[in-house]
Amino acid sequence: MTIAIILGAHGSVSEQLLKTTEMIVGKQKNVAWIELLPEENTEILIKKYNTCLLNLNTNEGVLFLVDTWGGSPFNAAHNIILNKEKYDIVTGVNIPMLIEIFMARDESHTFQELVQIALKSGNESIKSVKYCSGTNQLDGDQNTNKNKILRSLFNKNNKNHMVICLARIDDRLIHGQVVTRWVKEYNITRIIVVNDAVSRDTIRKTLLTQVTPPGITAHVLDIDKTIRVYNNPKYAGEKVIMLFTNPTDIVRLIEGGVPINSVNVGGMAFYKDKKQINNAISVNNIDIEAFKKLDQYGIELEARKVPSDPSLKIMKLIKKINHS
């Protein structure tokens, strides 16, 4: 039997990639795909992957092909492959990669050989018609006036503490939107996940610190340690992103003396005791009370998945469900 393939990506990309590839190489067996919906988190994706595995022949191994390193489809797959032989993940899935993998599976390659084929074909298929690597140099300084203004604001009055460029609530924590969009928006090199329970979970903590791309350092700290780290002169002036799973933890951090002026909410998954305030954010009564307290503290509360999205006021969204 052939090596099992599972595609995982944001939205419906996986299904369309498979359909397009099958138009070229024909219908494939021992293949599955999952999609990531806006209201879903890593735990839900793990369940989806496990359902796929039940319907696949995994004797020869399982290769997960996902869109981005550090995204939720990657993080969920990473949780599954731990301590399993002939289980691996390749990121950056594209059609040329799939074509080569599907054709190579029929030629009795080993699992490691198939991984190497995926890496080689995926990389070699990325080309430019006019730009040839090694013959031209891209401008090294791409800083805009906006970035210069941000840097001056960050450096001002932050001589003794780290600079919190973004405080974000996102129960997926470190994933694609964070590492590909927000990190670049503020030129961040350090991410701090702030959560008491996650900091005690050795497996999840290890996963989170491993999924960041090169050049980014991730830490998972409890709230008390985060306060100590914020006040440590060693990190003075360093720009960081702080990630939370809920607004209550932010209230605790602020009341512990860490100043936060604004909170970005990217995603809070739906559960049975929650109400949806938009397609990516669901809240329960505890969350609502915490948001109210943050609002009373004069903190700006916005809903926005990525920097290019329009900013929506959290309190206005909450008022809508209270009056519905």
Q: What residues act catalytically?
A: 10, 175
Amino acid found at 155? N
- Residues in Cβ contact with 30 at an 8 Å cutoff, skipping those fewer than 6 apart: 1, 2, 3, 4, 5, 56, 57
The DSSP annotation for 94-112 comes to -HHHHHHHHHHHTTT--HH
Helix (H, G, I), strand (E, B) or coil at 124: helix
- Alpha-helix runs per DSSP H in 93-241: 95-105, 111-124, 145-155, 176-177, 183-186, 196-200, 202-210, 223-230
CA distance 246 to 111: 41
CA distance 54 to 247: 37
CA distance 202 to 21: 39
